[in-house]
Amino acid sequence: MGAKPLTVAVDASPLIGLAKIRKLRLLAKLYPVVVIPPAVYADVVARGAGRAGARAVKQAVADGWIRVVTPDDSTRIPPALRGTGEGEVIALVLCQQADVAIVDDRKARNLCNLLGIRHISTGSVLKDAASQGLIRDLAKTLHRLQQKGFGIFDYAKLIEGND
């Protein structure tokens, strides 16, 4: 019996950022299973209709490579993040419906650290893609993301050793 495929739970910000630079599909190429909770779908697709990422995420869900998954136990949503996509992403990992959270929000990252949850940033997704040859120039791709108004908190760490 083989190992269970890695499942990532993705927050709205990484989805929007990757969609803005036309790199959303990297998630499917890097991770065997990609899930988002209902609050993230609502943020990006319903409330974000007509904005960056809405159409791409809606299509990815329709195509089946992003699945919308409700946390099995809503009491696992951290009280400080109740009613947010970040909270539901963390709950998916706590409920063992995902292995890794992809979040950029500082409060969510801090909570992940506190709860011992594996998490990565949008920038780390791009670094992983570069290391697998899926993007040619990490620094240029990160710069494009910044030009689209996306803050990359771990920029220096990401480009270290990639010159």
Domains of the chain: 7-121 (3.40.50.1010)
- Cα separations in angstroms, 160 against 13, 114, 154: 23, 26, 10
CA dist 80 and 139 (Å) reads 34
Give the tens place of pLDDT for each residue, 117-147.
Answer: 999 999 899 999 999 999 999 889 988 888 8
Give the tens place of pLDDT for each residue, 10-56.
Answer: 999 999 999 999 999 999 999 999 999 999 999 999 988 888 789 99
Give me the percent of the chain exceeding a pLDDT of 70: 93
Is the pTM higher than 0.85? The answer reads yes
Q: What is the pLDDT of residue 156?
A: 65
Q: What is the pLDDT of residue 85?
A: 94
Which residues have C-beta within 8 Å of that of residue 47, sequence separation ≥ 6?
Answer: none
Q: What is the pLDDT of residue 94?
A: 95
Q: What is the pLDDT of residue 45?
A: 94
